[in-house]
Structure 1
């Protein structure tokens, strides 16, 4: 009998399991159609749902319906904006709900979401993107036709990001990493809802940040009155950072907004509560802090929150004669007094004011005092503040656990008062700004990732007046460099509070300025954890003019002397004007632009070289060496004007492959050192008529243009003694070349054979072929050149011409002797006849003449 029971029990259990496994497939489409129906009937938006699944085992005996990747996309006037996106939504219900008829609603008992984003936006006209519900009359609403009904017992939200943005008020609030759960019987109209919430808060208003990823938490039992939409705080415990707060009172939903009637306070008055306000990343271990004195936070909020009003509120933060000391640190902060009020008495946001009547503290004998008052908070904030006191910066890290790579040093002295309103700052109406006092820093040392090398400031002295902040003196060193700066800032407050461009004019003097001391590429870490260096960027927030003088500037491998000029820094670029320097035994003037605005930095410069040493210039400047690689074998000086543009490398050095421009050069004096060049050595071998060691290059002029890695040399003529040559052609930055040289060579340089023939003609005939063209072709590359000439052919041509001249002369002489003979003229004597011709020559001439006269038959 037992066996039968077990057998049928097993079969029944197996049947149930199979049925439970098959049911999702049977009811999936039914559930999906109800969800789509419910959404479409109620919202005016584009809704997408990737998939719907049903699981009967996950929360047995309840069924779990999972909606995958659901999104709600707004229509006009927020066309294309995402209102809601949820990676996963779980709906839990009784399995019996699956058997309901088509017209019967399914009752949901629990809701859970994962990785959800909600974006609430208000445009400049005050219209919100959340209002997507289709408006219905009361007569249209029929409970029986609802696809779903709610009987919520609990709900859970995991990793929700809520963004609120109002374009009109320029306000943005983000609640990130929200994890929230609540338990209560929503079938009752009045219930207790047990909740737990954690999140991170960021709050900005008009480009000013008030909170950034501040952690908050709340454990609360809320009394919920569903009929009146009222939520009352009962037992609760809240933390803002590590500041504990208790709440009393209620929040009620109204037709337009919410009604607040709340009070709150710190449950204890220990000064540790103040340290709890500081983000935990900077506050250190509060468990090991010894404190004395009190710190209290209390406040009340009462009234309506609507589109036009806020509740009135009064928040106080008070402390008197408090102190704290971290056990692991040698110094304490004493005599701390805080008296702060944040108040709104009218319900209008602009009437909110902040009074920091007192904030004082002391470390050792150094005392620092400050106060500030802010009113007209939203329309035109008015700020009145004062700072007075001394801080030994080295003591900051000895009294408070500041995380620094290297400790600060130096003494800060301040005595400053300021009063201004934001509209005057925006409009540069300096007559409405009241500044006075000065700030002085001495012995300040700093090092950080944004600096290439540690900076040591011996003195920095600033004074404040209504229109400007004057930098009276800044003396600093970094690496090998020293700088002395003075000048003024025109709109410091616009830069500080309104993200405006920082404008100023400065004078800089330096005895030694090494550019590498200030060049530090930004290091970033990519998604795979690999560190990469980004291109050096000229700050986009600067618009200033710098008049500079430096005895020595070291840039790359160059030592520049007596550098002076003007640098205009604007729009992520430096405009160089009248920059002059002594280098390479002469001077160089620079005008132009260097820009880091685009992804790859660019430059566009005009250079003027005056009496510079040619070999040094071409050896030290890789850019020019690529343009004129042969020039480094020239000993001498030159003047040159160069225009060039292109890209810069990560080290802010011209990328040779990218440059283009023109070069015009004149050699003031110069000679060749052929032993430095394989090309000249090869040319010297092939062009034997040249003596390269004896060439004078004075006043030689050349014009080059370069682009896309090619250099074109316009034809120019070089003369050496009685030889001239026209040079033209091109070469690449890869050192491959294609040049033609056209020589005009006197025939006397073509060798002994030609000279022997030349000696046999008369001087007047020799003048007919004084010189001959010789062509030379240079190819290959500068390190392995190939030189060919037609000098042998030219020699042959000259020899042929000389022989031809001799023949013509002999014929002329022979014909004249025959004419004399036939005409009855006799030579005066044998001696005389030998002066003009030999017997053999006369005989040959006679023979040739007789052949011409008698060699033909008569007609």
Structure 2
């Protein structure tokens, strides 16, 4: 007996050790197979660390589980900056027997714990989830599928379809499904929950910040592509409903047969869907009343048909009251039905025969009926009174006091037909009398707030339509504002209105606070306007009469986006039908004083119609303007970004600024005329004193293609300091590094064009320029280049060269500066220089000098003495040719042809002795130009590659701007959901 126990125990230990050892034995095999399968099936960048794949037999015995952490997929262009999938932890299960005995592993389970999915579809239909190989390249997977469990925990999901203008963001998605996925027909018990952060379609938001839960038995028929919902429970917040029926995917369209109905719901359930109601205190809300919700969605959805539907909601005796407040909302009764019995959406009807409730002691009731979406036959009414003081005892409005009465009495009946000029007969009146608003953060209230408005159309004809806001006004600390507005004739939209009074912006901000904003100052207005929108459409602006004036005094504004602040001491604008005149504008933007005058024309057309151009002129003056202040935020620098200019503004500006601080430049007497038209900013006679001289500029900045904004300038630079130009301009540093060791001034007329990077700096590889550089007098000293030249040639010269009256013709094309041959004296020697500098800092120059033989010292005298019969002497000119390569700070200098200085002297002297006609320097020059052509071709290829890289980066940044809604959704998800450790950008990229 004891022996049997020991044998059994030994067998158990062996089995246990085998189970523990199996993952280690087969780890390399499984990891390699995973890596190979990913490479064969996914055409995208997959990142993970193959060395961090862990295996276990105990997680889901008898299956063996492989777990990877921080794995994800990054799309290919144009989605190279979008992470399609990231998983904090990803586990796949395999059939153990298939690992040990079969050639192909069998996949049995998938588990995801933490991560995100970002699906993106561009306007042209390209999608970032299209990452499988085309059919002709497809490699058959060797995995066998027998999945019976899928688990997802804590995944954020964003779907951004720009083609359909549809956006959905889900947070903390949890789901679990169990079934035999290998069968054609199977049942799938499914559980899921998520935060519906946002669902928006064509600019309309349908759901936001709602909690979803669901549990159902999904019957899957893969042969017919039919998915049927069995009994299940679904909930959005506290609203519970059942969904049953099926969704099928035939060859064309989608076939629906879905039924839904409320499940164990009360009036409190529907309240949980009302924005602002579903808070932490929702569970304490005192409610009663019954609710019934049911309907169906049935038929084919395709390009030509829409499913029929019938949705009904009924609430009886609804009641709710906040636990700490004295008054309820009671006797809530709503009966609503939306239906369409055909396959044409235009036949939709809406019926709300009952709508009523009591706000405290004040009843509100109404009804509405819409026959269809073709003739728009409708009938409706709304009537009631609200005591604003009672609202604060019904809803928790902390720190605010309200008073006044709001009366509404409206009814409408008829049809809307724009062609027949018919609208429903309407009689609506709204009165807000003696209202009072006081906020705890500001002791002074808004008083005597009165609004009297009516909408009338007794005949149903558009020309009898009237909106009369006969009275609007309020008082705030002895300052009042009042106005009126009347709109008549729905087809012509004739208006007649006026507003006058004073508003203290600081007081208004105290009553209605806005986060991180400081604002103060007074607005004084006296405006009247009269006209017709028909006249606006047809351009008859002489019939429009808008006149008056607006004044602003002691205004100050600052916010997180504008930390520098703007202060307007005084501003005055006068309105007339054809223009707005800015007669005075005295301000300080940040620390820079700024004055302006000017006018705007065509402003009514610009405001009231699309694709109209706002025209105007503006004169700007300042004693000192600090641009750097607008390039930084707090202590952190903000990079310059490409500025997109509006294409519907035609504006001319004259600028006169005594001093401008920009980056490390101090610009004096800045002046010129700027014209903005069709999205292009042109400069005319723009000038300034800078860098010790005068700069005059004409040209244009064209950012219409945000990925490659262009510039084209004609510059006249007079008496500019060479060292200051080197310190200030990156183009000088790149193409004229020799300026680092030059003192003196220069003049030039140069045409300069190219594209700008996203930091608003010129892309060196794109530059094109042509001009003549003139240097009256300069000194070149203390250069490693000079030291290398004197050391190579053995000339005993100083490390300083003086230049006088030098003219250098230059041309920059595709990022290569070509210096055409020019004569200059180096030390006391006549010289000729030519060559090029690349945008990447490389140099390639040829220097031809004529050096007297005696300047080479003893070796030249010895050679002269040994060569019999020579007519050469110490003053005989020896041609010396130098090749300069490498970079300016790390030059490679050699004697042309590669000979030593001794060989050069011997060859030159014997050449004279034998009376050879061959010009040594001409030979060297031809060899240099042949080599230079090859170098330029290589530089041009590098320039094209660099420009392509800049273009892709620009496209990425432009795409980032378009994706702001996605970033906002991601921020919302981060704020609502539990924080998780940040994932790394990549761990390993598998590009096989």
Q: Distance in 1 between matches of 2:645 and 2:723?
A: 33
Summarize the Cα distance change of 1:459–1:690 in structure 2 as closer, same or farther, 3 Å threshold: farther
Contact 1:428 1:491 in 2 (8 A): no
1:303 equivalent among 414, 420, 428: 414
2:691: which partner in 1? 584
Q: Is 2:498 aligned against 1:386? A: yes
Q: 1:57 to 1:345 in 2, by over 3 A?
A: closer
The Cα shift of 1:299 comes to: 0.8
Name the CA shift for 1:491/1:69 in 2 (closer, same or farther; >3 Å). Answer: farther
- Tell me: CA distance 1:236–1:393, structure 2 relative to 1, closer, same or farther (3 Å): same
Cα distance change, pair 257–755 in 1 and its aligned pair in 2 (3 A): same
Which residue of the partner structure matches residue 356 of structure 2?
A: 237
Query: What does residue 155 of structure 1 align with?
Result: 294
2-side partners of 1:513 and 1:770: how far apart? 61
Change (3 A) 1:180 1:704: farther
Of 483, 486, 492, 2:603 maps to 492
Q: Does 1:52 align with 2:226?
A: yes
Match of 2:281 in 1: none
- Do the aligned residues in 1 keep the contact of 2:365 with 2:384 (CA within 8 Å)? no
Residue in structure 2 matched with residue 631 of structure 1 by the alignment: 739
**Residues 483, 588 of structure 1: CA spacing in aligned structure 2 closer, same or farther, 3 A cutoff?**
same
SS of equivalent residue, structure 1 residue 332: strand
Question: 1:728, CA displacement in angstroms?
Answer: 1.3
Residue in structure 2 matched with residue 482 of structure 1 by the alignment:
593
Distance 1:648 1:549 in 2: 26
Q: Which residue of 1 aligns with 2:258?
A: 90
Q: Cα offset for 1:662?
A: 2.4
Tell me the equivalent position of 1:827. none
CA drift at 1:441: 0.6
Give the corresponding residue for 1:771: 877
Structure 1 residue 54, shift from structure 2 partner: 3.3
Q: State how far apart, in whole Å, the 2-side matches of 1:306 and 1:238 are.
A: 33
User: Equivalents in 1 of 2:401, 2:296: separation in Å?
Assistant: 39
Is residue 435 from structure 1 mapped to residue 546 from structure 2 by the alignment? yes
1:38-77 to 2 correspondence within 5 Å?
51-58=225-232, 64-67=244-247
Report if the CA contact (8 A) 1:569-1:575 is conserved. yes
Cα distance in structure 2, aligned partners of 1:796 and 1:63? 102
Aligned equivalents of 1:532 and 1:310: distance in 2?
Answer: 55
Change (3 A) 1:518 1:419: farther
The more displaced of 538-547 and 425-434 is 425-434
Once residues 717 and 57 of structure 1 are traced to their aligned partners in structure 2, the CA distance between those partners, rounded to angstroms, is 94
Partner of 2:905: 795
Q: In 2 relative to 1, CA 607–692 (structure 1 residues): closer, same or farther, beyond 3 Å?
A: farther
Aligned twin of 1:265: 383
**Aligned equivalent of 2:151:** none
The offset of 1:402, in angstroms, is: 3.3
Q: 3-state DSSP class of the match of 1:257?
A: coil
- Contact 1:640/1:663, CA 8 A, preserved across alignment: yes
State the alpha-carbon separation in 2 of the partners of residues 692 and 238 from structure 1.
100
CA distance in structure 1 between the partners assigned to 2:608 and 2:832 by the alignment: 67
Deviating more after overlay: 331-340 vs 662-671: 662-671
Write out aligned runs for 1:204-603 (5 A). 220-221=334-335, 235-237=354-356, 246-248=364-366, 251=369, 253=371, 257=375, 259-270=377-388, 286=397, 289-306=400-417, 308=420, 309-349=422-462, 351-377=464-490, 379-399=491-511, 401-426=512-537, 429-448=540-559, 451=562, 453-499=564-610, 500-518=612-630, 535-600=642-707, 601-603=709-711
Cα deviation for residue 267 of structure 1 reads 4.4
Q: Secondary structure at the match of 2:701?
A: strand
- How far did 1:793 drift? 2.2
Q: How many pairs were matched up? A: 624
CA distances 1:440-465 after superposition (whole Å, capped 9, x unpaired): 11111112455463111111111112
Deviation track 1:491-547 (CA, whole Å, cap 9, x = no partner) reads 2222333243322101000111122344589xxxxxxxxx99964333444321110
> Which residue does the alignment assign to 1:622?
730
Q: Please give the alpha-carbon distance, in whole angstroms, between the structure 1 residues aligned to 2:856 and 2:257.
A: 98
* Aligned residue in 1 for 2:755: 647
> Which moved further from structure 2: 570-579 or 605-614?
570-579
> Matches of 2:507 and 2:457 in 1, distance apart?
38
Q: Does the C-alpha gap of structure 1 residues 488 and 253 become closer, same or farther in structure 2, counting only changes over 3 Å?
A: closer
Instruction: State the shift of 1:570 in Å.
Output: 2.6
Q: Which residue of 1 aligns with 2:851?
A: 745
RMSD: 4.6
Aligned-pair CA distance for 1:250? 6.2
Distance 2:339 2:744 in 1: 97
Q: What stretches of structure 1 of length at least 5 have no aligned partner?
A: 1-23, 29-48, 74-84, 94-152, 163-178, 184-192, 198-217, 277-283, 522-530, 806-859
Contact 1:672–1:692 under 8 Å retained in 2 = no
Question: CA–CA distance in 1 between the matches of 2:396 and 2:458?
Answer: 38
DSSP-derived class of the 1:330 partner: strand
Residue correspondence of structure 1 range 1-150 to structure 2 within 5 A: 51-58=225-232, 64-67=244-247, 90-91=258-259
Distance 1:380 1:697, change over 3 A: farther
1:255 CA drift (Å):
11
Unaligned runs of at least 5 residues, structure 2: 1-183, 189-222, 235-241, 262-291, 302-308, 319-331, 342-347, 916-992
Q: TM-score, normalised by structure 2?
A: 0.56
Counterpart of 1:205 in structure 2 is none
Alignment partner of 1:696 out of 802, 821, 831: 802
Show the counterpart of 1:664. Answer: 772
TM-score (norm 1): 0.64
Question: In 2, Cα distance between the equivalents of 1:480 and 1:348?
Answer: 58
Is contact 1:536–1:650 with CA below 8 Å preserved after alignment?
A: no
